[in-house]
Amino acid sequence: MITEYFANLDPWTWQAAAILIVAGFLVGIINTIAGSGTVITYSLFMLMGLPAPMANGTVRIGVIMQTLAATLTFRKAKVLEIRKGFYISIPIVIGSVLGAQIAVSIPHDIFETVLAVVLVFMVIFIFINPSKWIEGQQALNQKKLGWWQYLLFFVTGIYGGFIHIGVGIILLAVLVLGAGYDLVKANAIKIMAVFLYAPFALAVFMIN
């Protein structure tokens, strides 16, 4: 019944606009605090009739706007290490372009299957709240980033470009467990990295 309601909802009605605004508000909060909020917009777009690959590209527009606002807020609060965050973001951006290209190249039915599995997994992840078990390692944070850490960022970028759902949680884990950041600074760099890679991934979807 819910699926039928959304499927029959004219996207230009005030009800649809209200639903999208509320969903965007919730996703912005969830993605800024931790991650995986994009599960909501993915699900909503598909309930309203968008094919999965088109929903995958469309959510990137909201991601750019959310992360721009959040990045500026973290910078104003002086918890964002811009220079180091930029270096970390380079392999993530490169990986995201590759991931987005994979997403637009594979058959739609395969992508829809992958998306369904990821959606279920990430919904469970949201309730588990894995970030509460992640703790920074100050000694590790003082060291220069190694090739294996950049490789982790690159692989994370591929995932983010491919499907984006839950990339915030993955980035938090990599930044905290792999690079030693505390949750606040890791969250700030995570937001900045997503802001930097999202336009590149969006460009791939727009071209295709």
**Element spanning 185, H or E:** helix 183-207
**Residue 201 pLDDT:** 96
* Longest CA span, the chain: 55
Burial label, 168 (beta-carbon count in 10 A; 0-12, 13-18, 19+) = buried
pTM recorded for the entire structure? 0.81
Please write the tens of the pLDDT for every residue from 107-148. 988 888 888 888 777 666 655 555 554 555 555 555 677 778
Per-residue pLDDT at 92? 96
Min mean pLDDT across 92-96, 103-107, 166-170 is at: 166-170
In whole angstroms, what is the distance from residue 131 CA to residue 177 CA?
11
Mapping DSSP to helix (H, G, I), strand (E, B) and coil, where does residue 164 land?
A: coil
CA–CA dist 56, 41 (Å, integer): 10
Q: Answer for the pair 159, 28: CB distance below 8 angstroms, yes or no.
A: no
What is the rounded CA–CA span in Å between residue 131 and residue 18?
31
pLDDT value at 72 more than 80 = yes
Q: What is the DSSP letter of 133?
A: G
Q: Tens digit of pLDDT for each residue in 189-201?
A: 999 999 999 999 9
Report DSSP letters for 41-109, one per residue: HHHHHHHTT--HHHHHHHHHHHHHHHHHHHHHHHHHTT---HHHHHHHHHHHHHHHHHHHHHHHHS-HH
